Structure 1
Amino acid sequence: MLDAMHQYLSRDFDLTRHNTFGLNARSAYALTVRDEAELPSLFTIAERAGLSVRLLGGGSNVILSENYAGITAMMATRGLAQSEDDTGATLIEGTPVKAGTVWSPIR
């Protein structure tokens, strides 16, 4: 059943660079998700293949186990609405912040 996503899945994927602590970790499969509309298909295919799915944002403040037997979906979705108030403080608007958004550049 993984054949439907085979061209997008990486096997035996090294997650060491995908967690802040640089822990040695691998996932049986990994997939970069650029649009949340891809998730329903991913979960359907994973369920049919008997695999679990783990969502991973930027990897900040995450402790990963050494080996994960399922699919790690690396969320590359980006987006938030921000503005400044009269004092120059940054305001995060009411839209949801997406899972792959990098926070460090926001002041």
Structure 2
Amino acid sequence: MDEGHTELFSALAEPSRMRIVALLREGPLSVGEIADRLELRQPQASKHLKVLQQAGVVEVQAEANRRHYRLRPEPFREMEDWLAGYRELWSDRFDRLDEYLRNMPD
């Protein structure tokens, strides 16, 4: 796994940031809207959003004096691809276990 994935998982490991990601699944929001919905102070929300932006999870779009944050799909696709290899590994192991259990003498 490369450094980018480590940064991504590290960014998502913090509960408030996961809550922000869950909120942004519904669509773009401003820092103030995120702070209000999660009952965070705006500086806290901004700090979390900066970490998510540095990890490539969110992108920001400036509109007048407001900044709207939205999720970027690429990191989640990369995570899905990375996890697919593990899913395949465990599926094979469970298939072998199932075959072993079926062939066990009673």
Task: Flag whether TM exceeds 0.5 (same fold).
Answer: no
TM-score (norm. length: structure 1):
0.28
- When normalised by structure 2's length, the TM-score is 0.29
Q: Based on CA coordinates, which of the two structures has the bigger radius of gyration?
A: 2
Structure number with higher strand proportion: 1
> Which structure features the higher share of helix residues?
2
